[in-house]
Structure 1
Amino acid sequence: MTTQAHAAARSQASGTTRALLACGVAAGPVYVGVVAAQVLTRDGFDLSRHPISLLSLGSLGWVQMADFVVAGLLSLAFAVGLRRVLHPGPAGTWAPPLVGVYGIGLVAGGVFVTDPALGFPPGAPSGMPDHLSWHAMVHAVAPPVAFTALVAAGFVFVRRFALLGRRGWAAYSAMTAGTALVLSIWPGQDGLSVRLAVAIVIAFAWTTAVAALLMREAGVSGAGAPRREMP
């Protein structure tokens, strides 16, 4: 292969990497934007009482189902991009599969919907169901596992940024992972839906910021192969 052909192949590889990282930039705004629009417009939905998962029900439930799936697929693409820019090294070993688990969990949350509850969609029982359907049980497991994986990925990045001497990014990653974890495990049902929604927004804002950072760095590395850092 000629030198020119090698350069073209490296440029294509770098462009593919940036496109995969761009999926990580897009995942959060897409998910949060679609959820926010539904929270404001869906008849009978009250975020102070209803978890986001209930938006997958009713005549417009397909919107949130698609939102889960699209955000999950974008996150999976981001995981591939992470592998390309972080491998080899501890971050390259742990962060991509953790973000991949997050993506898979989002897809599962869209495919396997929860059961009607808490008066949503309109006409549903006012309380929680006595027995969960099989798909509701899958849904009940998938998002918590996915979110735990994303929080773990945040702590992986804390170490990476600290080793690189990027204290601001290390602190941001630590605050994001810690705050999201506390909000998700805080005891009590009062305000739970709001706390989880805030945790999701915080976590997705972080993934967007990190993806944008790595995307810029992939561009700075030039038309050659994506830059790989050991931490």
Structure 2
Amino acid sequence: MTIAATRTTTAVPTRALLACGAISGPLYFLTSFTQAAVRDGFDLTKHPASMLSNGDAGWIQVTNFLVTGILMIAGAIGLSRTLEPGRGSTWGPRLLGVFGVSLLFAAVFKADAGNGFPVGSGPATLSTAGILHMTAGSVGFLSLIVATFVFASRFSREGHRGWAICSRATGIAFFASFAGISSGNANAVVMLAFWATVLLAWGWVTAVVIRTAR
């Protein structure tokens, strides 16, 4: 009786944590794309989502970073509870947790305005907050990229070849676009590719969390 009660008690919060991780990506992109569509001067071919933190409505994106960061950390904790012991189960959730923490830092240290957003802003200039924002983003994105390969290794060991291939492909695509935008030559193609692969990577996170929950 005691064992059954204990299992019920632990299963409910774990499912809740996994649910938090599953909705973090959809919530982030729903909020970001909605703002991108309605805020004057914002252009998907020129501006990353982090620049939405600027301007009178910037608090919306700041809140978006905070909420989705907390949800991602919760999801990482949920994954660590449900995956069996092993290298993948140890480092995979930890790396996703680092990604979640990076979103919190991105909320505290806003990206610099510039390149026409908000309307009227001139060329982008680097501030201390902007540098810290980029540093946090780089650490978070690299953690997410490495996580795709860590989970890919686990899927391979378990015989889930399709999941392993998709995980590695996601990591490679995301790394390529991240390298492109970090090069300083972020033209329209590079920027759109970055948006697409961030969406892909977060979609991968959602899929892995849902798979685990099932």
TM norm structure 2 = 0.94
Mapping 1:71-150, distance limit 5 Å: 71-125=68-122, 127-129=123-125, 132-150=126-144
Cα distance between partner residues in 1 of 2:47 and 2:157: 41
Question: C-alpha deviations, 1:41-70, integer Å up to 9, x for none?
Answer: 111111111121110000100011111111
In structure 2, the residue matched to 1:182 is 176
Which amino acid is 1:64 matched to?
Q
Query: How far has the Cα of 1:139 moved from its partner?
Result: 0.5
Question: C-alpha deviations, 1:69-101, integer Å up to 9, x for none?
Answer: 111111100111111112421012211211111
Q: Which has the higher helix share?
A: 2
Which amino acid is 2:132 matched to?
V
Moved more, 66-75 or 182-191: 182-191
Structure 1: state its 5+ residue gaps. Answer: 217-231
Amino-acid identity (%): 40
Cα distance between partner residues in 2 of 1:178 and 1:137: 25
Structure 2: state its 5+ residue gaps. Answer: none
In structure 2, the residue matched to 1:201 is 199
Give 3-state SS (helix, strand or coil) of 1:145's partner.
helix
- Asked if 2 retains the 8 angstrom alpha-carbon contact of 1:109 and 1:143, the reply is yes
1:167 and 2:158 equivalent?
no
Give 3-state SS (helix, strand or coil) of 1:58's partner.
coil
Give 3-state SS (helix, strand or coil) of 2:36's partner.
helix
Query: How far has the Cα of 1:195 moved from its partner?
Result: 2.1
Question: C-alpha deviations, 1:172-215, integer Å up to 9, x for none?
Answer: 11111111111111353212332221121000110000000001
Cα distance between partner residues in 2 of 1:22 and 1:116: 34
Rg: which structure is higher?
Answer: 1
In structure 1, the residue matched to 2:209 is 211
Moved more, 185-194 or 166-175: 185-194
CA RMSD, Structure 1 to Structure 2 (Å): 1.2
Q: How many residues align?
A: 210
In structure 2, the residue matched to 1:7 is 4
Cα distance between partner residues in 1 of 2:80 and 2:22: 16
Which amino acid is 2:113 matched to?
P
Give 3-state SS (helix, strand or coil) of 2:45's partner.
coil
Query: How far has the Cα of 1:21 moved from its partner?
Result: 1.0
Runs of 4+ with >6 A deviation: none
- Asked if 2 retains the 8 angstrom alpha-carbon contact of 1:52 and 1:193, the reply is no
- Asked if 2 retains the 8 angstrom alpha-carbon contact of 1:114 and 1:135, the reply is yes
